[in-house]
Chain A
Amino acid sequence: MYVIQMKNITKRFGNLIANDQIDFDLQKGEIHALLGENGAGKTTLMRTLYGLYSADEGRIFINEKPVHITSPRDAIRNGIGMVTQHFTLVSPLTVAENIVLGATKGISINPREISKSVAEASRKFCIPVNPDAVVRSLSVGECQRVEILKALYRQAKVLIMDEPTAVLVPQEVDALFKSLKQLVEQGLSVIFISHKLYEVMEICGRITVLRGGKLIGTVHRAETSEKELAKMMVGRETFGVVREAGKDPGEPILSINNLKHVRNDGFERLKDISLNLHKGEILSIAGVSGNGQSELVKILSGLLKPTEGKIVLDGIDITGASPTAINAAGMGRTPEDRHAGVIGELSVAENLALEGLDDYLNRGVLDRKKIREHAQELIEEYQIKASPEDPVGKLSGGNIQKVVMARSLSRNPLCIMAAQPTRGLDVGATEYVRKKLLEQRNRGAGVLLISEDLDEVLGLSDRIAVIYEGRIMDIMPASEATEEKLGLLMAGVLDKEKTPTF
């Protein structure tokens, strides 16, 4: 029996066809994966099902009866729940209030009663939450559990999970998968959106692949392989960059000593960080975001002053120096939020010239022609899909990232700090960014890669450090690192057999 059938769904945004005549169905009690790169149309399709978008063409059937879903309320009434990447929780309210929000009948709300009823649901579905906690104080994994419980509390029979693992550490992922399997046994049906092949192969029964808004096909897990799925997903047989064997690392280029940062409210964000980055190596700092990475990046960019500690770049003390001084000392930066690294209203050419405006001065006036020529060169070299006059804000994420990288790398920095450089990029752009980082390493620059993507960390690094709650948990050569080992460290579990070497 089909709980959901979507037939011939087409959704256009202006000229862009996000969903092109897509068919999708879900059987009772299955976990059905929706696989595809960023921008393949997975989320659009599911937002249509959940009533957040209305399809331009196509029909939706629930329990084999045609329905019209025009708002989330309709979807909820039809037993559909959705857990998105960006949680839709009201942060000053408690867990219980969030869960019953819009789901209770009657006029009055008694805090004790709703707390009890939520606790009951929590036990029934085996999803542990604390009903009285304020959502603001919860971790990402806990928020996700609240979202799932919220959907189940509304008697969802179908659960849409939009890239649920993107924000979780491996151990939390395991727990999530276990819950999902249990819920499916209780009769729930799950649509699992992902672009991670191994996850899909682990828990899904059937897999539907989208690419560029089109349906590529639906396959059974037993009849496919990761390789075949990858091919369906990106339209090529292999992807990923190949790392050449490392040369011996050169002398240290960047050394961070006993770096501390205490926030205004007394919260210690960085606790005694010491690292040495050598020439010709990629040193990764792995960790779930929010464990002090942002502060470290800001300090190394000159946007935040450390409370204690010393940073030396190529013999120059850059502790607490201004961004300009740090640039001049030979640091190339790719900021965490790439949109913060560019000025959207300015053109590609202007943005590319921003970090070295002095180079374009001609008797105190900017030499527009020179800026344009420089931009033209970089656009060709870095394959940026734009012309020099286009405002940067109009470009795609991948192209903005290329602009940011082109700007900092073209100055041949001694040391490159790349913070989450491929977050949110599609496979093609990701591959390009990684290739560029490897090029820089082979050129002899030291690369500090701050990332929460374990594939990326394991694939690129020479050495890997793991950050957790502002502390470096361990540093190891890439050859000794495994996903499991890193995952444990990222979750704050210290390797007992080894005393950490700082």
Chain B
Amino acid sequence: MLIGAFTGFATAYLTGSLWAGVFAACLIGILAGLLMALMTVYLGVNQHVSGLGITLFCTGLAYYAFRVIFGTPSHPPQITPFDQVNLMGDVAVLGPIFRQYPLTYYAIVLVPVVWVILYRTNFGLKIRAVGENPEAADAAGINVYGVRTVSLMIAGAFMGVAGAFLTLSTLGFFTFDIIAGRGWVCIALVIFANWIPQRVLLGAFIFGGVQALQLRLQLTGVKFPYELFLTLPYVVTIIALTIANRNAAYPAALLKPYKRE
């Protein structure tokens, strides 16, 4: 996410086009996904190890590239971020709800799209099969490595754009702590949602809702250390995981590299 945030920002800064930034973030995400695929799908490296490794690598790379391009400026370089798109005009309750950034709308549209791909297409059936029982998929003539690699590339693209959302939509500048662990929260949300797309959306609304709530709480001026408010979304995530995840049906081949005997 961080490298997506950075690539999106840097591209938008240098080209002046926000959508070029989104596209670049998508590409860098695909590259990161490919690297992950090389490590876990083809070399069979433990996914925790390679996942942490690639995260650290990408983080370092983003810092380094920032320094190379922008040096150490006293004021962070800025761009003009996306404007919010207003779908409802100034209607009372719905107005503020439907005043969002374009990427937000795309993200919400992606949920049914992902559902259709997973549950109503050939490719989706293959994705589910290689995640549950790669041996069976292999015996059915499916290219297990290919499907897993493409899946990781798609996932990488999503993460890259997600990172770019923060720089290109909300902030308009890049800082090193911009992600604040949201990538890990995403993993938690997927587990919370039991790998079902529409439940991921629900989980994301809960997390986002609590995030918004804590901002509002800080503004109320209650005499309370604001740092504790900041932890609220993460605390809620942990609680939700603990409650929802007891009976989670993990994909059977989760975290398992596949090797034909």
Contact = CB atoms under 8 A, between A and B. Distances in A.
Nearest to B143: A73
A89 B249 contact: no
A92 B250 CA distance: 11
Given A88-B140, A92-B249, A106 B135 contact: no
Contacts of B124: 109
Contact of A108 (B120, B137, B139): B120
A89 B136 contact: yes
A84 B126 CA distance: 21
B125 interface: yes
Given A52-B261, A90-B136, A76 B141 contact: yes
**Secondary structure type dominating chain B contacts:** helix
A109 B136 CA distance: 19
Interface string A83-107: 0101111111100011011111111
Contacts of B123: 107
Nearest to A47: B261
A211 B136 CA distance: 29
A202 B261 CA distance: 33
Interface string B235-261: 000000000000001001000000011
Contact of B137 (A52, A86, A87, A102): A102
A412 B166 CA distance: 73
Contacts of A154: 141
A45 B252 CA distance: 29
B252 A107 contact: no
Given A72-B140, A90-B133, A90-B136, A101 B121 contact: no
A362 interface: no
A501 interface: no
B261 to A, nearest CB: 7
Contacts of B252: 91-92
A150 interface: yes
A150 B121 contact: no
A264 interface: no
Interface string B128-158: 1100110111111111000000000000000
Contacts of B121: 107-109
A72 B134 CA distance: 13
A490 B142 CA distance: 38
A82 interface: yes
Given A84-B139, A88-B136, A101 B129 contact: yes
A90 B122 contact: no
Contacts of B261: 52-53
Nearest to B260: A52
A136 B66 CA distance: 51
Contacts of B120: 108-111
A109 B121 CA distance: 5
B122 A107 contact: yes
A88 B260 CA distance: 13
B132 A109 contact: no
B126, B129, B136, B139 — which one has the most chain A CB atoms within 10 A of its CB? Answer: B139
* Interface residue tally on B, bucketed by range: 20 to 34
B132 A88 contact: no
Interface residues of A, number: 35
Interface string B149-178: 000000000000000000000000000000
Given A72-B140, A102-B137, A109-B120, A93 B260 contact: no
B122 A88 contact: no
A92 B132 contact: yes
Interface in A90-134: 90-93, 97-98, 100-111
Contacts of A104: 122
A87 to B, nearest CB: 8
Contacts of A90: 128-129, 132-133, 136-137
B224 to A, nearest CB: 43
Interface in B35-54: none
A89 B143 CA distance: 16
A62 to B, nearest CB: 16
A109 B125 contact: yes
Contacts of B138: 52, 71-72, 88
A8 B14 CA distance: 65
A52 to B, nearest CB: 7
Interface in A187-205: none
A103 B132 contact: no
A89 B141 contact: no
A20 to B, nearest CB: 20
Given A71-B141, A88-B135, A91-B252, 18 more contacts: A52-B139, A72-B140, A72-B141, A86-B135, A90-B129, A90-B132, A90-B133, A90-B137, A92-B252, A93-B132, A101-B136, A101-B137, A101-B140, A102-B140, A102-B142, A103-B141, A104-B122, A110-B120
Of all A-B residue pairs in the complex, the 4 with the closest CB atoms, nearest first, are A88-B136, A73-B141, A102-B140, A88-B139
Interface of B: 120-126, 128-129, 132-133, 135-143, 249, 252, 260-261
11 contacts: A71-B138, A73-B141, A73-B142, A76-B140, A90-B129, A93-B125, A101-B140, A102-B141, A102-B142, A104-B122, A154-B141
